[in-house]
Chains A and B, each alone.
Chain A
């Protein structure tokens, strides 16, 4: 420092350093979060890929993806350790005369695959999202196109905000009390659909309203000035341009619906079910059957069976498939939405 600092002399080094340090701390927080998230993601992806992928063609473990869960039996036979699924084991015992009284350690759900869970989850998500979109988009249309700000509308908005904060397990209880018991639907797809649909409703409404608001006012004015009725205006000059936004944002809702376990625990999910959802005698049975679902299956295999090298396979495999499905959906939603946001500057 000289005696006559110029007015534009750089600030003291020490102060700059201190500022840099504080900013570095903020930055560290950011990357710590990313690291933690990435760590979880990588752990499951890496360990799970051993179950889902295989070295030889077709490189994907089709048994795991496309068959039902079975018990795994582990035993010593002719000096070698053998692992077999339930069906194979039974056949083996019939075939080999000396095997009738072989002592096997058994692990439930640890062999076979998770196809019924995948199917169940897809069905649950499809139905719930259809319902939620129908109600949610209509609701958003009313709020953004028809409603005039007043006490009642403020009340409705408050309800939507609050609904978004209700814990998922409470939705589960509610679905159980209303659909399963009061309506007598039992543990069923239908009960699961409604429970999940009500749960994502706030997400869909908020997303749809944002998309509707993004449609410029001028289009509405133009349509109305040409003699369109309110509904014609909405149908021809608003909804078509809001739809991409509504759909992409609602995909995030899909991730939420697919990812939740608590709401379906008592409303739609079975621990095991032999038959696939479409193997029903009458069409109505389809609606009133419980299904297996990926998140619930993960809960079951991670808490109800011991952890060891034999069970880890199915645990990580299921988590892998589930996480990948949800992650793909979420990533698609986030990317599409960001693309749309930057493209749709009217």
Chain B
């Protein structure tokens, strides 16, 4: 071994340099570069969602503008009137059904029941046909409006063709493509002119309905008296609404511009998602959002008690041996591919739940029995299975992180295990558990395959008037609509962009949930023991 007497080589610097960097610096930079990939990906996601989706509002504005210019909006006022009447007619047939039911239960055979209802039927028929003149007017005007729109669409296509041809340098051919500019103001004249007729039709309708009210038949069964009276009130309300519709038509202004804000509102608060329609396309988020939230709500109602309960049990009461089995088993459930669960829902669970709903002594459950096998409940149950492992694992972690001193102190004061758990450990872990639930919610809202396969895919805001029965309605969701329609849309079309906007909303929603979960976790975290 040498005895280093000479001056040491402290100064020696034999490291290579490249562009002023030592290899170590370069390696560090390489790793650092990889570390920011997560940031970059997040930025890219936002960028591409916006890039593909942002054009939506301009297009939707144009879409709404054409809706107004071509007079579709005008005709829709008439249609609303028609629909109001249809709803009333439906009430009548419901009432008839009830009456028939009562009669047959009262001992009448079918024929006798029919006979008893003759008067009511005549009344209902008269009520039904009262709308015919209006319906005729509506469909006539509808034809006018669609013609205008069709012409506009054809023209747009031609313009596009022309643009393409001249872009390719085939000017002569481009010239030959005919574009006939539409004078919207002139085109809607027939609509405006029909306002007088509409007023007449309305007067006749009002007179007919009022006279019908007077001539209302005696209720075929006494129990229906109240219902019929309520129906009468509804009809009166309907009649009193008619002038308002006339006023709306009167003040309808074809040239009122559509602002971008309106286009935005039509997306965020639009109550319809209707695409590839011959009449008018709507891109409203609400039906999808409510669908997503409803399914997620059902899933959480099931998953939170199960997941948190299991976490409390495993962390606080289970033996070590039990823990060693249960924890990996639940973690294992989290690896189930969602598409397999979706398939299970279609193949087994949907039918199973439907049959359960038909069990007689269960019909007190809201919504039971139901006939649609794929609905919120089916999807919610499966999503719960997806959410439970997430909630369980995170909640168990939170319970685990409670400083041991706390329960020990409580036990030393003579509290029982359960008291200690519920009064000391659980509150101490509450912020962690809440954030676990939030992350479970994020998981569920972002889940695609299960809802695509099992939620029933009906695009409409579910009927909340039935209270909890809404749980068994089919819905469509934000994730589901993207998965279902993305493959079929034309790139760059308004529909395509609308789907990207839905994606953007989903993205922001998930960021928000995540952010909230982390805030809660950080704000209320106990000081480490």
Contact = CB atoms under 8 A, between A and B. Distances in A.
Asked if A and B form a direct contact in the complex, defined as CB atoms under 8 angstroms apart, the reply is yes
Interface string A168-193: 11111110111001100000000000
Contacts of A261: 337-339, 448-449
A255 B328 CA distance: 15
A151 interface: no
A173 B335 contact: no
Find the residue from B27, B38, B453 having the highest chain A CB count within 10 A: B38
A276 interface: no
Contacts of B52: 173, 177, 181
A169 B332 contact: no
Given A298-B340, A319-B340, A159 B331 contact: no
A156 B335 contact: no
Interface stretch (A29-37, A61-69, A77-85, A279-287): A29-37
Contacts of B305: 29
Interface string B411-446: 000001110000000000000000000010010011
The DSSP consensus for interface residues of chain B is helix
Given A165-B510, A252-B335, A26 B483 contact: no
Interface stretch (B148-156, B209-217, B223-231, B341-349): B341-349
Contacts of A198: 41
Contacts of B317: 23, 26-27
A34 B326 contact: yes
Contacts of A37: 329-330, 332-333, 336, 385
A236 interface: no
B293 interface: no
B267 interface: no
Nearest to A299: B339
A19 B416 contact: yes
Contact of A262 (B31, B326, B388, B448): B448
A307 B305 CA distance: 34
Interface in A135-175: 135, 138-139, 141-143, 145-147, 155-156, 158-174
Contact of A138 (B23, B31, B483): B31
B510 A167 contact: yes
Contact of A174 (B49, B346, B449, B491): B49
Nearest to B334: A330
A168 B448 contact: yes
Interface string B131-160: 000000000000000000000000000000
Contacts of B48: 173-174, 177-178, 182
A289 interface: no
Contacts of B329: 34, 37
B487 interface: yes
B344 A265 contact: no
A139 B34 contact: yes
B23 A231 contact: yes
Interface in B336-385: 336-344, 346-348, 385
B31 A139 contact: yes
A205 interface: yes
Nearest to A138: B34
Chain B interface size band reads 35 or more
Contacts of B310: 26, 29-30, 33
A34 B337 contact: no
A156 B35 contact: yes
A23 B31 contact: no
B507 interface: yes
Given A165-B511, A252-B335, A146 B31 contact: yes
Contacts of B507: 166-167, 170
B337 A322 contact: yes
A158 B35 CA distance: 12
A41 B48 CA distance: 38
Contacts of A295: 337, 339, 449
A201 B49 contact: no
Given A44-B340, A177-B49, A142 B35 contact: yes
A29 B309 contact: yes
B313 A29 contact: yes
B343 A302 contact: yes
B312 interface: yes
B316 to A, nearest CB: 8
A65 B508 CA distance: 42
Interface stretch (A52-60, A91-99, A102-110, A331-339): A331-339
A167 B31 contact: no
Chain A interface size band reads 35 or more
A202 interface: yes
Interface stretch (B82-90, B237-245, B250-258, B513-521): B513-521
Contacts of B482: 169, 172-173
Interface in A195-212: 198, 201-202, 205
A130 interface: no
B44 A338 contact: no
B42 interface: yes
A115 interface: no
B313 A27 contact: yes
B499 to A, nearest CB: 8
A302 B347 contact: yes
Nearest to A173: B503
A105 B312 CA distance: 54
B174 interface: no
B429 to A, nearest CB: 14
Contacts of B309: 25-26, 29-30
A178 B326 CA distance: 42
B446 A166 contact: yes
Given A170-B49, A252-B335, A43 B348 contact: yes
A315 interface: yes
Contacts of A165: 439, 442, 446, 510-511, 513-514
B483 A262 contact: yes
Nearest to B517: A165
Given A40-B336, A174-B49, A181 B514 contact: no
A343 to B, nearest CB: 15
A156 B38 contact: yes
A173 B38 contact: no
A334 B42 CA distance: 29
A102 to B, nearest CB: 30
A244 interface: no
Contacts of A205: 38
B511 A162 contact: yes
B37 interface: yes
A302 B45 contact: no
Given A27-B313, A43-B348, A307-B346, A330 B510 contact: no
B486 interface: yes
Going nearest first, the 7 A-B pairs with the smallest beta carbon separation are A167-B446, A29-B309, A330-B335, A259-B337, A138-B34, A142-B31, A26-B313
7 contacts: A26-B313, A165-B514, A167-B447, A173-B49, A231-B27, A302-B343, A326-B335
Given A170-B45, A177-B52, A295-B449, 4 more contacts: A142-B32, A147-B32, A230-B27, A307-B347
Interface of A: 11, 19, 22-23, 25-27, 29-30, 32-34, 36-37, 40-41, 43-44, 135, 138-139, 141-143, 145-147, 155-156, 158-174, 176-178, 181-182, 198, 201-202, 205, 229-231, 252, 255-256, 258-262, 265-266, 295-296, 298-299, 302-303, 307, 312, 315-316, 319, 322-323, 326-327, 329-331, 334-335, 338
